[in-house]
């Protein structure tokens, strides 16, 4: 099966590499020519546009930042839709508004193509390892046709329902991750202010009910002051904005999401937008006049 891959950023590049390692024929495109050339040296074929990639592919995968980027890549000039042939499957692995997923899917179906929205969770480390959690929405039979491809990139691949269900599930994931990071930040700062070392608190509670994958991934980063991006603050702001918009449209109350969004907006204004979302701890450190670095 010929695969096209559009979007080769922090997440897309290692995902594309895993497809190459699995032996798939891969044609890639992104606006950064040097990134395309890097993947070409590893065995990929170069694409010149979304339309060019689609014309040579049975499946086209997108991994882009947000809804406008996906709409432009698919529906814009020389986009995927222009080059798509009947029977092609578009798999959008970006995290976008589920309403936009449904809109793009309708346009693809007009041309005789199918679409899945299949966002991921796990950040750069799991993208590199091929152990992402993938949540997909779309026709079940289409999902089954590309399951093997998705399983190259993820260790957990779940069909969530009709088109848009994947992104709705991802929004739920992002709410839980954001709230978890905020809670870890709040707890470690409490401990530091009360005279208990954050490292001791982390080691004492990580094996109990409060322990989580998020805590194990982010607490060490907070204590080491290592905020190199696995998932950037500005991207989490995008996801929470999509969650709030979706919540408003369906009448779901999201008070915790709204509160954490304001914290992240403060970080954005303070110049931390490109840092890892574990830098949410800096909001608490600013308010408390302390930090949670290892001693």
Distance CA(92)–CA(98), nearest Å, equals 11
The two tokens of residue 136 are 């997909």
Q: Which residues are catalytic?
A: 170
Distance CA(75)–CA(72), nearest Å, equals 5
Residue 210 burial (10 A CB sphere; 0-12, 13-18, 19+) = middle
Place of tokens 């993938």: 134
Distance CA(51)–CA(74), nearest Å, equals 8
Distance CA(274)–CA(97), nearest Å, equals 21
Distance CA(54)–CA(35), nearest Å, equals 19
Distance CA(273)–CA(287), nearest Å, equals 18
DSSP state of 31: S
């Amino acid at each position: 099966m010929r695969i096209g891959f559009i979007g080769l950023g922090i997440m897309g590049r290692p995902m594309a590499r895993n497809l190459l390692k699995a032996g798939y024929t891969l044609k890639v495109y992104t606006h950064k020519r040097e990134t395309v050339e890097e993947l070409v040296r590893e065995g990929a074929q170069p694409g010149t546009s979304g339309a060019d990639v689609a014309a040579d592919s049975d499946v086209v995968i997108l991994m882009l930042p947000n809804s406008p980027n996906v709409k432009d890549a698919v529906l814009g000039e020389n986009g995927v839709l222009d080059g798509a042939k009947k029977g092609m499957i578009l798999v959008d692995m970006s995290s976008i508004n589920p309403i936009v997923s449904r809109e793009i899917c309708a346009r693809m179906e007009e041309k005789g193509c199918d679409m899945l929205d299949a966002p991921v969770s796990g950040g750069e480390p799991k993208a590199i390892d091929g152990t992402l959690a993938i949540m997909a929405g779309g026709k079940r039979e289409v999902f089954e046709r590309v399951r093997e491809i998705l399983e190259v990139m993820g260790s957990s691949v779940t069909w969530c329902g009709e088109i848009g269900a994947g992104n709705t599930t991802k929004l739920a994931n992002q709410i839980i991750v954001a709230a978890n990071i905020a809670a870890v930040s709040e707890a470690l700062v409490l401990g530091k202010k009360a005279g208990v070392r954050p490292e001791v608190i982390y080691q004492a509670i990580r094996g109990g009910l409060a322990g989580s994958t998020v805590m194990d991934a982010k607490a060490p980063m907070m204590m080491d002051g290592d905020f190199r991006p696995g998932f950037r603050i500005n991207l989490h702001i995008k996801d929470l904005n999509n969650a709030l918009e979706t919540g408003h449209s369906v009448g779901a109350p999201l008070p915790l999401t709204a509160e954490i969004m304001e914290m992240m907006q403060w970080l954005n204004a303070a110049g931390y937008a490109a840092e890892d979302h574990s830098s949410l701890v800096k909001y608490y450190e600013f308010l408390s006049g302390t930090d949670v670095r290892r001693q």
